[in-house]
Each structure stands twice: as C-alpha cells, then as structure tokens.
Amino acid sequence: MEQYTDDERVEDLKKWWQDNGASILIGIGLGVLAIFGWQYWRSYRDTQAEHASQAYEAFVAAAEKPDVEQARQRGQAVLSDFPKSPYAALAALRLAKLAMDTGDATTARQRLEWVIANAKLDEVKDIARLRLARVHLAAGQLAEAGALLDSVATASLDAERDELRGDVYLAGHDPAKARTAYTAALAAGGGQGLLQLKIDNLAVPTADMIVIDAPAPPPEAQPEPAPASAESAPVSIKPAVTALAPTEPVSAPAPAEPATVSVPVETAPALTAPATPATPAAVEPVPVAPPAPTSSGQ
C-alpha cells in the first residue's frame, strides 16, 4: 500500500509538471529577463542623462560666447536628442532668452510655450509663464500677460509675479492697483530698492498727502563794514601855545627857541592784509612870539 502511494505521488508530480512546467519555466525566464532588462534600462537612462547633461553644458558654454548661431545649434541639439530629459526644458528657456536678446519675440514665445507644455517640474513651468508674460507685456498684450500671471502658483515666485503684475497694471494706466501689487511684492521679499522706487514714483492720492510747512529762509547776512585804512585815518595836530599874562614891566627877555611838537600817528589795524605803514606827517615848529615891551609912561 505504501509503495502504491509513492507511485501515485510520482505520477501526480509528473502530471503536475506536465500541466505547469512550461508556465514555470516561462515565468523564470521572464523574471530573469525583467531583472536584466531593468538593469539595462537603468544603465541606458543613466547614460542618456549623462549625455544630456554634457550636451546641455556644451550649450551653456556656447551661449556665453558671442557666437549666437553656434549656441542655437547646440541648444536645438539638446531639444532634438533629449526631449524627455529635464535639460530640454532648461535649454528651451535659454533659447528663448537668446531669441529675446536678438529681437526675435516670436521664437521666444514658441520656446516658452513649449516649456509650459513639456516641462516635468511645475516650478520650471511657472518660470516659463513669468517670462512669457513679460513677452506679452512688451508687445502690449496686457490681457494675455495677466492670464499667465494668474496661473503662477509657485510660492517662491510670488514676489516676481506681483511685481510683474504691477507692471501690467501700470501699463494699463491703473496706478492704484499697480501700487497695491508692488506693495505685495515688497512684502513677499522682492527687491527692496527697485520696488520702493517704483512705489515712490507712483502718484500719491491727495487724501494720503501730509502738508509740511517749509521752514523760513535764514536772514541774509549783512556785510561787515570795511576797517578804516591807515592812510584814510584823520590826524589831528594841535600846537602847544604858552600864554603869558601881563606882569610888572620887566626887561624884554631873550627870544625863546621855537618849540618842536611831535605828535604820534595812530594806525588802525587791518583785518585782511597788513597795510603799508603810513609815513608820519612832518610837523613844522610853531614859533612863539615874545611879549611886546611895555612903555614906562603907561
């Protein structure tokens, strides 16, 4: 009975193998192929990413040189050879900038629209929307620019979006909304100097203006009187005269020698440059006449 049982087991195993052996072999083969295929795909993907990176680096290096045509060719090669890679969107952004720098707004618009449709990252798409809005603003297409700005949702781009929205409002002759947008951009951390300058350049409503009285101008300084020069200073000379009262008759004294009077001349000091000292005026001696003799009969 036991031997029979073993035979039955062998027969059952053979039967099971006949029914399922092929499927097992196929499954094993598929598993092996999947493992090797996945490894091959990863290797291929890494190789493609490396090649795309090298192609993009070559494009960036060419874009920094004056040869614009070579830069365009290298950028187009990135788009053609690696359209699914993240580098393709970055290359399209740079190609759009090259087009704008050369005045080709149509090509720039096409490149940016391609990025919006094909980029893998939402942030890259929003960057393309901002740049495309600038293109529309430069062309005077304010409605299209505003619609693109409404689609920008990346938080790190809020300041740039609000500032550009203010530019759109200002171009549409709406300074009140432009001021509000600039203020929002300033609060979001935008460029302090440029945004504040844009806000200051907008007309302030009369109700918000503060009137400040201007200070009175200082009184004009009166010129100081010029100091008198030494030459113009008047010199007063008074001769000394001796008066003799009449007395008893005496003999006439001998004539006295004439007295010489020396008068010092004061010189006024000059404030700026020293003046040439004035020559003292020569004073002639004043003779004193002797008293007339008195007659004895009087």
Task: Please report the pLDDT score of residue 219 as a whole number.
Answer: 57
Looking at per-residue confidence, does 171 or 227 come out higher?
A: 171
| Chosen domain end from 161, 187, 204 | 204
Its domain, for residue 162, covers: 121-204
Task: Please report the pLDDT score of residue 32 as a whole number.
Answer: 87
Q: Which pTM does this prediction carry?
A: 0.59
Does residue 84 sit in the same domain as residue 134? Answer: no
Does residue 125 sit in the same domain as residue 94? Answer: no
| Whether pLDDT at 45 is above 60 | yes
- What's the per-residue H, E or C state across 141-204? CHHHHHHHHHCCCCHHHHHHHHHHHHHHHHHCCCHHHHHHHHHHHHHCCCCHHHHHHHHHHCCC
Does residue 70 sit in the same domain as residue 136? Answer: no
Does residue 95 sit in the same domain as residue 144? Answer: no
In a domain, 10, yes or no: no
In a domain, 11, yes or no: no
The rounded percent of the chain whose pLDDT value lies above 70 is 66
| Chosen domain end from 71, 104, 137 | 104
Place of tokens 């500032």: 163
In a domain, 238, yes or no: no
Does residue 77 sit in the same domain as residue 145? Answer: no
Does residue 164 sit in the same domain as residue 200? Answer: yes
Grade residue 176 by pLDDT with cuts at 50, 70 and 90.
very high
Average the pLDDT over 151-168 and give the result: 95
| Whether pLDDT at 74 is above 60 | yes
In a domain, 79, yes or no: yes
- Domain of residue 159, CATH code: 1.25.40
Does residue 34 sit in the same domain as residue 76? Answer: yes
Grade residue 124 by pLDDT with cuts at 50, 70 and 90.
very high
* DSSP of 50-62: HHHHHHHHHHHHH
In a domain, 211, yes or no: no
| Chosen domain end from 104, 139, 159 | 104
Q: How many domains does the chain have?
A: 2
